[in-house]
Amino acid sequence: MSTKATTTPSRFGYASGLACRECGQTYDLGAQHACSECFGPLEVGYDLPPLTRAGIEAGPQNIWRYASLLPVPPDIADTPNTEPGCTRLVRADNLARALGMRALWVKDERGNPTHSFKDRVVAVALAAAVEMGFKVLACPSTGNLANAVAAAAARAGIRSVVLVPADLEPQKILGTAVYGGTLVTVEGSYDDVNRLASELADEHDDWAFVNVNVRPYYAEGSKTIGYEIAEQLGWRLPSQVVVPVASGAQLVKIDKAFRELAELGLTGDPGCRVFGAQATGCAPVAAAFRAGQDVVQPVRPATIAKSLAIGNPADGPYVLDVVRRTGGVVADVTDEQIVAAIQLLAATEGIFGETAVGVTLAVLRKLLDTGQLDPAAETVIINSGDGLKTLDAVASAAPAVTPIRASLQAFAESESLRSREAGAA
């Protein structure tokens, strides 16, 4: 939907309506997520006001500094919410040297309230859901979203209902249960859980399933990652960005953020190449990209990267559109490569990311090796969550540690042994 200047924000800010991403049919703002004409997904459009860098920089130290670019009330910063955002953009010089790159940054989403980027999207979805009169905040989730929904609902004083696959990492299940909402574990994959959530959304009119019936608003929260990258780089865009792909919404919305900033004159033209990263055990978008197809064929996930294990990604076709338009690539990597990349990031930069960043960094390495990613171009990768949530994935890679006596002699002996083993290796 086209943008035009306005000075009269509504309870959804400068959002002006919903538009079908397939046929272009427009709708009023409300609890609708699919086009009644072609069943395509809906997206939020805006009548944006003039914005300045200084005005944004004067805002709160969270995502609400970009409230004018989101479908939220103008006074959203004054409501009880988890206040996510403004996470670190880490210059990864050690990692860049190890990879033979000139300039590499890690957007480190561990600093959000529940330690993943999902706090951003949930905060926007909650704000919209409250305006539309929903009474319960709910979701199907691969883990991080469950944490974020439970926490945001607790902070807002409303009930939460989250559904997750029964084989989810224990850390993520406990990290949801602690907030006291309703937690349901479901036999099957995330796609089975998502199907059940869609049926429940039809049954419960006052339940806002953040990534189902209020998905157009929810997805807009990922734009704030792109806004922050640009602002933290001094209001410019990187040459390349590598983004993990689960549903695909994060990649699509980061690209949307870059284009919006350029349209508003806050950055230069959006010449950033966008790359997508998937695990080989769940790589339907990468497979479609390699085959030159526009249709993403669903798969049954089988990977340690459970936060990316969505076999039928809703935004898969739009990921293909973005990547092809910007000159990027969608690629996939094995579980072994994922674990090695997690360890490399931790050892070089002191950042312990979850399996999703293992996928992202491993794809970066793969594309460097194949010459599809430019080592001389300034690059950003996304670390979408905390490695403490996915400990099982790296447990087998941890070395066995034998205790020593509490004496200088014992310590010296252990140091000598380590030196000999390192020399032998």
Q: Tell me the pLDDT band of 412, cut-offs 50, 70 and 90.
A: very high
| 6 pLDDT more than 70 | no
pLDDT in tens, 145-177: 999 999 999 999 999 999 999 999 999 999 999
- 199-213: average pLDDT: 95
CB 345 within 8 A of CB 383: yes
| 2 pLDDT more than 80 | no
| 37 pLDDT more than 70 | yes
| 3 pLDDT more than 60 | no
pTM of the model: 0.94
Q: What percent of the chain has pLDDT over 90?
A: 90
pLDDT in tens, 284-315: 999 999 999 999 999 999 999 999 999 999 99
pLDDT in tens, 337-386: 999 999 999 999 999 999 999 999 999 999 999 999 999 999 999 999 99
Average pLDDT, the chain: 95
> What's the CA gap between 245 and 238, in Å, rounded?
19
pLDDT at 7: 57
Q: Tell me the pLDDT band of 269, cut-offs 50, 70 and 90.
A: confident
| 1 pLDDT more than 70 | no
The DSSP bridge partners found for residue 138 are 161, 209
| 406 pLDDT more than 90 | yes
pLDDT in tens, 85-140: 999 999 999 999 999 999 999 999 999 999 999 999 999 999 999 999 999 999 99
Q: Tell me the pLDDT band of 423, cut-offs 50, 70 and 90.
A: confident
pLDDT in tens, 331-343: 999 999 999 999 9
Instruction: Enumerate long-range contacts of 337-343, CB under 8 Å, 24 or more apart.
Output: 337/362, 337/365, 337/366, 338/279, 338/303, 338/304, 338/305, 338/362, 338/393, 339/304, 339/393, 339/394, 339/396, 339/397, 341/365, 342/387, 342/393, 342/394, 343/394, 343/397
- 48-76: average pLDDT: 96
- 210-232: average pLDDT: 97
